[in-house]
């Protein structure tokens, strides 16, 4: 009798990079994507016997990323991910389910002498637009889209008071602190919206603007409160999503003690730090 057996397992290809140039008559568009494909299925004998007869090589998945990028003409990362899944599921009956994650990197058209230049681009920030699409052979698409690496900072309307004090407390209360965070957001589209179809790029743009506006305007009593307000406003913005997950690390900026040098620090000189950082995460759902 075997001592061990296979439980949950997946395999696939990660960090497949694709640069797509779409050539119009008078200008080019540019997309840079990083793709991950993960497959579930009947892979037991692959693990226990080294039987590769049901294994689609990850190298072929890589080629699939390139091929589908060329033939699909997808106008969003969601459409591209769906096309990838359809292609793989339709050709591989041994695969019971597939998940595709696409991250889109920011490129902005250059402005030269006040005019958009048709074929030159500037890399944007480290913010990425993301989607995570999954499907089983006979199931419907599930789509969660979002953004990651959105680094924002507000210099007013942020404080932190009234928290627990104990023998290890050294943090002073403040009603005026910098609030910097690198937002990761992921919202889940409703089955109905997915079934009826929607303009993913448009919804994404609006949700991003909505959450940025809330971040800027919120009179923040804590990261938790601002995070919740951002999720709440996202849900209020559109019926097409039914939940928002937000991860907002607190990227601390430490106030320098200038009094040691005979100067007052009127909350104007800080040390930005990367570690340690607070970690705040929550999922907001429709009430």
Question: Considering only CA atoms, which of 160, 164, 148, 156 is closest in space to residue 248?
Answer: 148
In the chain, the largest separation of any two C-alpha atoms, in whole Å, equals 77
d(CA 41, CA 97): 7
Please report the sign of the dihedral spanned by the C-alpha atoms of residue 219, residue 181, residue 237, residue 286. Answer: negative
Buried-exposed string 9-23: b where 16+ CB fall within 10 A, e elsewhere? eebbbeebebeeeee
Q: Which is nearer to a copy of itself, 194 or 211 (CB)?
A: 211
- In the block, which residue shows the tokens 């303009």? 199
Asked about 283 being catalytic, the answer comes back as no
Question: Considering only CA atoms, which of 41, 37, 35 is closest in space to residue 19?
Answer: 35
Q: How far is the CB of 84 from a copy of itself (least distance, A)?
A: 12
Which residues contact residue 77 at a Cβ distance below 8 angstroms, ignoring those fewer than 6 apart? 33, 102, 103, 104, 129, 130, 131, 145, 200
Q: Which is nearer to a copy of itself, 141 or 160 (CB)?
A: 160
**Catalytic residue, candidates 62, 105, 135, 252:** 252
Q: Which is nearer to a copy of itself, 69 or 194 (CB)?
A: 69
Q: How far is the CB of 143 from a copy of itself (least distance, A)?
A: 19
Q: How far is the CB of 83 from a copy of itself (least distance, A)?
A: 14
Q: How far is the CB of 196 from a copy of itself (least distance, A)?
A: 22
CA dihedral 9, 248, 148, 61 (to 10 degrees): 0
d(CA 177, CA 227): 16
Asked about 188 being catalytic, the answer comes back as no
d(CA 235, CA 229): 10
**Catalytic residue, candidates 13, 82, 105, 184:** 13
Q: Which is nearer to a copy of itself, 197 or 247 (CB)?
A: 247
Asked about 181 being catalytic, the answer comes back as no
Q: How far is the CB of 191 from a copy of itself (least distance, A)?
A: 18
Q: Which is nearer to a copy of itself, 141 or 245 (CB)?
A: 245
- At 1, list the tokens: 């009798």
**Catalytic residue, candidates 34, 45, 58, 136:** 58
Instruction: Give catalytic residue positions.
Output: 13, 58, 252
């Amino acid at each position: 009798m075997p001592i061990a057996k296979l439980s949950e397992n997946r395999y696939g290809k990660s960090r497949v990079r694709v640069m797509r140039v779409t050539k119009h008559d008078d200008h080019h568009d540019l997309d840079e994507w990083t793709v991950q494909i993960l497959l579930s299925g009947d892979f037991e004998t692959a693990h226990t016997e080294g039987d590769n007869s049901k294994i689609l090589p990850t190298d072929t998945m890589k080629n699939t990323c390139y091929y589908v990028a060329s033939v699909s003409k997808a106008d969003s990362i969601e459409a591209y991910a769906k096309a990838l899944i359809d292609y793989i599921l339709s050709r591989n009956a041994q695969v019971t389910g597939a998940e595709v994650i696409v991250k889109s990197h920011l490129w902005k058209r250059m402005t030269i002498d006040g005019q958009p230049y048709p074929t030159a681009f500037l890399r944007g920030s480290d913010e990425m637009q993301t989607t995570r699409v999954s499907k089983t052979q006979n199931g419907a698409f599930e789509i969660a889209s979002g953004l990651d690496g959105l680094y924002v900072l507000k210099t007013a309307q942020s404080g932190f008071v009234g928290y627990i004090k104990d023998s290890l407390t050294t943090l002073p209360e403040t009603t005026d602190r910098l609030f910097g965070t690198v937002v990761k957001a992921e919202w889940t589209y409703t089955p109905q919206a997915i079934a009826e179809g929607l303009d993913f790029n448009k919804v994404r743009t609006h949700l991003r603007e909505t959450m940025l506006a809330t971040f800027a305007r919120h009179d923040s009593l804590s990261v938790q409160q601002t995070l919740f307000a951002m999720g709440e406003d996202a849900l209020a913005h559109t019926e097409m999503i039914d939940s928002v997950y937000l991860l907002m690390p607190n990227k601390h900026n430490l106030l320098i003690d200038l009094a040691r040098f005979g100067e007052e620090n009127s909350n104007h000189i800080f040390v930005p730090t990367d570690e340690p950082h607070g970690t705040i995460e929550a999922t907001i759902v429709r009430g």
